[in-house]
């Protein structure tokens, strides 16, 4: 059984009478809270379990200030600054408090999986962790207008790419929108199929499950397959960081694509997001370079 290492808010204690009075007596004074917060501010570092625990503690102190001491407005902002927390972060950190247990559990599960692969695990910053629960839709492309992932690859894009790759199989298709003679349907589930070494795979996967398909493509390429995937441009996601940046060539598409929905044109000018191509392994993408404008790009993870 896992046990929490983050401080527990005294006001979370349940009960009545003597138990409640005892819990309330454990609430620190504002002065003590500020001193503790300043200590935390000096300990916080990026990508560590200890740093995330310190941010949980800061979140707890901010909640104490609001819920127990009723600090609002400028008084709350001033209190946050004394902890070492800026104004915008303070209000976001208040939201973090209710998700602590879920975040902690997810981090430990991710750490177990990463360790099992023999890889080091980097704990997320508090903003990333909060976005798992408070801003999920900002990072999972919406099934815009029709509530469906059935968006067909624009024929002009596929035909252009097929000139260079001569795709063998469409790994995520239906009989009505398959781009290759050989294809894998939703019912057959391309995530469960073996993508053959040496074969060239086209992938326009459900955007709501982009992470799973990016991981599958990354793994298949390491086993010898060639994969070209079409994605919404989501560089803030974990799947982009973990499965595209280390091993794929990423091509940004200028402008926005117009898709067909369920095989029929949709009355709209373009998708509400920009798109990218990810090509695994990276070397396979070199055949496109004569049609690309090279840009210098790196992925910078900011310290919290």
Q: Tell me the per-residue pLDDT of 195-232, one tens digit each, with 9 for 90 and over.
A: 999 999 999 988 889 999 999 999 999 999 999 999 99
Which of 143-152, 187-196, 257-266 has the largest mean confidence? 187-196
CATH class of the domain at 151-291: alpha beta
What rounded mean pLDDT belongs to the chain?
81
Instruction: Report pLDDT for 15.
Output: 38
Domain boundaries, given as residue ranges, for the chain: 10-103, 151-291
Out of 57-66, 103-112, 261-270, pick the least confident: 261-270
Rounded Cα distance, 296 and 285, in Å: 16
Instruction: Report pLDDT for 158.
Output: 92
Strands 249-252 and 275-280: antiparallel
- 239: Cβ–Cβ under 8 A, 6 or more apart, which residues? 210, 211, 214, 215
Cis peptide before 281 (omega within 30 of 0): yes
| Cβ atoms of residues 227 and 220 within 8 Å | yes
Helix and strand numbers (H, E) in the chain are 11, 9
pLDDT digits (tens, 9 = 90+) for 144-156: 444 445 567 888 8
Query: Exposed, middle or buried: residue 206 (CB in 10 Å: 0-12, 13-18, 19+)?
Result: middle
Instruction: Report pLDDT for 270.
Output: 56
Of residues 286 and 122, which shows the higher confidence score?
286
CA-only gyration radius of the chain, Å: 24
Instruction: Report pLDDT for 149.
Output: 52
Cβ atoms within 10 Å of 147's Cβ, excluding its own: 7
């Amino acid at each position: 059984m896992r046990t929490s290492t983050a401080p527990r808010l005294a006001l979370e204690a349940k009960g009545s009478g003597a138990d409640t009075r005892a819990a309330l007596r454990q609430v620190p004074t504002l002065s003590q809270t500020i001193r503790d917060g300043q200590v935390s501010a000096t300990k916080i570092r990026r990508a560590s379990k200890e740093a995330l625990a310190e941010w949980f503690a800061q979140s707890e102190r901010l909640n104490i200030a609001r819920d127990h001491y009723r600090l609002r407005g400028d008084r709350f902002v001033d209190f946050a600054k004394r902890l070492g927390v800026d104004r915008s972060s303070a209000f976001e950190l208040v939201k973090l408090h209710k998700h602590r247990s879920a975040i902690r559990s997810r981090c430990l599960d991710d750490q177990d999986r990463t360790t099992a692969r023999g890889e080091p695990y980097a704990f997320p910053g508090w903003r990333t962790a909060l976005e798992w629960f408070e801003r999920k839709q900002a990072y999972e492309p919406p099934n815009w207008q029709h509530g469906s992932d059935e968006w067909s690859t624009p024929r002009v894009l596929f035909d252009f790419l097929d000139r260079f790759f001569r795709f063998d199989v469409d790994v995520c298709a239906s009989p009505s929108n398959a781009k290759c003679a050989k294809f894998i349907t939703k019912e057959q589930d391309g995530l469960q199929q073996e993508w053959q070494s040496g074969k060239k795979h086209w992938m326009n996967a459900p955007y709501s499950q982009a992470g799973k398909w990016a991981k599958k493509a990354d793994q298949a390429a390491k086993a010898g397959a060639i994969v070209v995937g079409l994605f919404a441009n989501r560089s803030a996601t974990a799947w982009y960081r973990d499965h595209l940046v280390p091993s794929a060539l990423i091509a940004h598409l200028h402008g926005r694509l117009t898709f067909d929905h369920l095989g029929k044109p949709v009355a709209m000018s373009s998708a509400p997001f920009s798109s990218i191509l990810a090509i695994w392994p990276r070397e396979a993408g070199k055949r496109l370079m004569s049609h690309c404008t090279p840009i210098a790009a790196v992925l910078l993870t900011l310290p919290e």
